[in-house]
Amino acid sequence: MDTLLLARLQFATTTSIHFLFVVVTLGLVTLLVGLQTAWVLTDKPAYERLTRFWGQLYVINYVLGIATGIVMEFQFGLNWSGLSRYVGNVFGAPLAIETLVAFFLESTFLGMWIFGWHRLRRGVHLALLYGVAITAYASAFWIMVANSWLQNPVGYEVRDGIAHLTDFTALLTNPSLGMALGHVIAAALLVGGMLMAAVSAGHLLRRTPDFALHRTALRIGLVTAALSITMVQGFGFAQFGPVGEVQPTKFGGGPGADALVAEWTARFGLGDYTPPVLASVGLGFMILIGFSLGTLWLLLPLLWRDWIIRLRFPLWLLLFALPLPFVAAILGWIAREVGRQPWVAYGLLPTDQAVSGVGPGVMLASLIGFTLLLGTLAVTNWVLMARHAARGAADPALGRRPEHPPADPRPEPAFA
């Protein structure tokens, strides 16, 4: 067994699972902000119930997503010590900012939002949710800053065999950052919109009592998904230019790619510097799914006079289409990460020099253990979300008003 292959399989598996939690979190929190803002401005109970219902699903996904993120972080020290040692001074900077500034603040705001129902003023409570959303986007930004540096190392110099950060601004203006960040955020909004539309469609097919409530959520989710798929396509195709310039080998050969391979051969020796076919396959299927989901625009006219509900088959289409944005998100990640191979940091650190020096037996045990743990967390998450989603929005546990304590049946003590 090859230690490098096992380490790559482990990282691919665990990061793919964690990424699914991330896109749900980022997509749902944006919709939650809209729902609670509508409730505060209009004082309509329907928006409060929708906020509580979707907020409950968001909290479930967020809590279990934290666990997957913590488990995934262990891999950098366990499996990729060469990465930490060689480029940790640069790569670790945005990760540290993400953890200290974004993640901790986001968790604090969310905890106050969860336990602040009926204890805080509406404006303060809403401001906490805005804080959750802003820090969630900040977290995504810093993660993409770190990832973009691996795609296109900038603002550094190598001293004594270790990369040192020399220009922090270069990290923020990396050509591989802007459009990729927009693409990820749009994909998260697509996932959130599709999830809201599909769950609402399921309730409408079952003819649950909360017809008006799920009708509203269906409309919000479908419009969000339709707008988001257009942004996904726009940001996706806009990446071909800047990515092709900084990573000439990702999209095939050409004069630039050939010159770069010749330079790498002189520096690192003979080797296969062509990305695996899996990257191109992932990119092709992701684009295919993106065009397929573009047909969501055809469903928008059916919202008129509730034809989308009367015909019923569009509701089934939304249910069956729910896995597609998740599959596309994973395929996009494969295209971006596998297309960088055989480099951990493109043109700077080969993958085989970044892996830890452990035996294949230990790496296999780690792969099996981490995969089982994250797989269990993922299954638990979806079971809990499906169970709470099926219960409907009649009286979600999140934000439920505390009951008055029962009266003490004991007589009051008499005082002399």
Query: pLDDT at position 409, please?
Result: 45
Burial 76-105, CB ≥16 within 10 A → b, else e? bebbbbbbeebbbebbbbbbebbeeebbeb
CA dist., res. 107 & res. 111, Å (int): 6
For 145-189, write each residue's pLDDT tens digit. Answer: 999 999 999 999 998 889 999 999 999 999 999 999 999 999 999
Neighbours of 367 (CB within 10 A): 22
Residue 415: per-residue pLDDT = 38
Q: How many residues are present in the chain?
A: 416
**DSSP summary character for residue 43:** -
Structural domains counted in the chain: 1
If one counts every other C-beta atom within 10 angstroms of the C-beta of residue 241, the result is 10
- Residue 407's pLDDT is what? 45
Buried (b) or exposed (e) across 111-132, using 16+ Cβ within 10 A? ebbbebbeeeeeeebbebbebb
Q: Which domain holds residue 200?
A: 3-391
Residue 375 lies in a domain: yes
**DSSP string covering 372-402:** HHHHHHHHHHHHHHHHHHHH-SSS-STTPPP
Task: Give, as one character, the DSSP assignment of residue 248.
Answer: T
CA-wise closest residue to 82 among 339, 370, 374, 348: 348
Structural domain includes residue 159: yes
Q: Residue 372 and residue 368: Cα distance in Å, rounded? A: 6
Q: What is the pLDDT of residues 390-406, one digit of tens each?
A: 988 888 888 888 764 44
| β strands within 46-152, DSSP E | none
Q: What is the DSSP letter of 254?
A: S
Assess if residue 410 is contained within a domain: no
Alpha-carbon torsion (11, 171, 140, 99), positive or negative: positive
Angle between the N-to-C axes of helices 178-205 and 313-321, in degrees from 0 to 180, rounded to the nearest 10: 140
The whole-number pLDDT of residue 103 equals 75
Q: Can you tell me the distance from the alpha carbon of 166 to that of 255, in angstroms, rounded to the nearest whole number? A: 31
What three-state secondary structure class fits 157?
strand
Residue ranges of alpha helices (H) inside 311-359 are: 313-321, 323-338, 351-354
CA 261/CA 257 separation, integer angstroms: 6
Is 414 a member of any domain? no
Helix/strand/coil for 186: helix
Asked if 354 contacts 11 with a C-beta cutoff of 8 angstroms, the reply is no
- Give me the torsion for CA of 8, 1, 276, 94, rounded to 10°: 20
- Alpha-helix residue ranges (DSSP H) falling in 206-306: 211-238, 240-246, 255-268, 277-293
pLDDT at 359 (0 to 100): 87
What is the rounded distance in angstroms from the CA atom of residue 45 to the CA atom of residue 108?
Answer: 27
The confidence score (pLDDT) of residue 414 equals: 42
Of 383, 385, 379, 384, whose CA–CA distance to 17 is shortest? 379
8 Å CB contact between 26 and 350: no
Angle at 396 between CA 395 and CA 399, to 5 degrees: 105
386 lies in a domain? Answer: yes
**Residues in the chain where the model's pLDDT stays below 70:** 403-416
Taking the C-alpha atoms of residue 27 and residue 260, their distance in angstroms, rounded to an integer, is 38
- Taking the C-alpha atoms of residue 13 and residue 370, their distance in angstroms, rounded to an integer, is 9
∠110-388-139 over CA atoms, to 5°?
A: 30
Interhelix angle 323-338/277-293, nearest 10 degrees: 150
Phi first, then psi, for residue 343 (nearest 5°) are -120, 145
- Within-domain flag for 310: yes
Nearest-angstrom CA–CA distance, 189 and 292:
17
Nearest one of 136, 113, 112, 117 to 189, comparing CA atoms: 136
Q: How many CA atoms lie within 13 A of 10 on its CB side?
A: 28
Reading the block at residue 381, the tokens are 């998450």
